[in-house]
Every structure is written in structure tokens, then in C-alpha cells.
Amino acid sequence: MKLDLTLLFLDDSLLAINKPAGILAIPDRWDPDAPVARSILEKEYGALFPVHRIDRDTTGVLVYARSRDAHRTLSLDFSTRQVKKEYLAIVCGEPTQDSWDVNLPLRADGDRLHRTVIDKSKGKESFTHFEVVERYRGYALVRALPETGRTHQIRIHLAASGLPILADPLYGDGKSLLLSQIKRRWKGDAFEEKPLISRTALHALRVSFAHPVLKTPLVLEAPEPRDFRAALSQMRKLLAR
């Protein structure tokens, strides 16, 4: 599998990429054979230290530290909510509000499917603010602004809102989006049709923080990938509100 690890930023302290779908940020005990961005990048750029992670099928901004000092500073900034993260998600269903907050405590690896679960007694504090960006018939494009960084936080907070992310296999129905499903009088070949998007429709659009050494503001942004754009393009044409 050819992987496009597009660099978004590189200096002596930081390396950031636009992570494609299908690749892990760091090794995962549940999927030891999956390609890992950190391992691939270290062959060219030397030791990298993870300061956050995004899921295998989530695309977008992924940041690594290139020194222990930068790692220590950035890890503290992430843990004390000094880092601002912005995601885009295509959700199934139509939000009843233009914006809302979800404050539900989460516990990782909480069931036999290794999903994160809502646990009001043992879960960790988890807060996400959501805003509707665009509305379609049966779907919506939503901006997610997580204040905490729990495993699968955005995915389960949207599912708990009755708006699972499109094609999410753990917290939704996992079904791909097909043009034949949303276009009336579609005339293609059902046996050759390829999905518009077939993985969890979640994209890490932007990460904003202070450079760990220079202390200057840094905003890293990753354009949406082709499948995400293709799904939105068809929804805008065929399902617009």
C-alpha cells in the first residue's frame, strides 16, 4: 500500500504530517501488522516522540516531537488544554441544534470490542463542543472541538448525541456511502460501483499551539482527503437543505 505522508511542518523540534487513512500514529497491540507513521518517518527523520494520536482511519494533522525537551513541553500543553484541536465529521442524522456540548466521562477499552464506553463512576472527564457546518437530508457536516483527548472521544460523543459518524464500524453501522444510495435514478453498474467513502468520516483539520521552543503561535492545517471531499460534493449536489 502506497502511503502519502505529506509534511505539514518540520524543524529541529517538531514534525507534523497530514496522516492518510489506514495507518497508525503509533504501534497498536490490537493490529500489530498495520503500518505505523512513526516507524516510517523515523527512517528518514530520526527519533520521534508522540504527543497525541489520531485513529487509524482518521485523517489529518498528526504532530510528533523531535527532541525530549520539545516532547516534555508539548505533552504538558496537551494535558493542560493549551492545544486547540479542530475536527470535521460527516454524521448520519440531522442535528436538532446548531451547536451543543457533550460532557460525558469515558473509559477506554470498556467492552469486548475494545470500545470506549460512557462510565459515570470510573470514566475520565471528557468534553467536546460541536457545531453544525452544513446540513443535508439525512446527514450533516459537523465541526468538533474537543477540550480533552480521550480515546475515540469524538466518535462516542457523537454517537451518544444520536449522530454516529458515517461509516464508523465501532460506534455506527459501518456502512460505506454509495452514490447509488443518494442519487435518484442512478444508472451505474452495482457490481462495479466504488464507495464515495468507506472509512470513518473523521478528519483532524487543524491543531493550534505555541511552538515548544520559540513560543510563537503555530497553526497546522491539513486539507480534507479525496474521499471526504467526494462525499461532501455529492451531498451538496444531491442532499442539500
Q: Which residue has the cell 488544554?
A: 81
Pick from 222, 223, 218, 221: nearest CA to 82: 218
Helix (H, G, I), strand (E, B) or coil at 75: helix
- Running DSSP on this structure, what letter comes out for residue 29? T
Cβ atoms of residues 132 and 89 within 8 Å: no
Q: Report the distance separating Cα 94 and Cα 28, nearest Å.
A: 34
Task: Say which of 4, 28, 33, 55 is annotated catalytic.
Answer: 55
Q: Report the distance separating Cα 172 and Cα 92, nearest Å.
A: 9
Q: Report the distance separating Cα 150 and Cα 170, nearest Å.
A: 16
82 Cβ contact partners less than 8 Å away, ≥ 6 residues apart: 76, 209, 210
Is 109 a catalytic site residue? no
Helix (H, G, I), strand (E, B) or coil at 136: strand
Q: Report the distance separating Cα 43 and Cα 222, nearest Å.
A: 23
Q: Report the distance separating Cα 89 and Cα 158, nearest Å.
A: 9
Active-site positions read 55
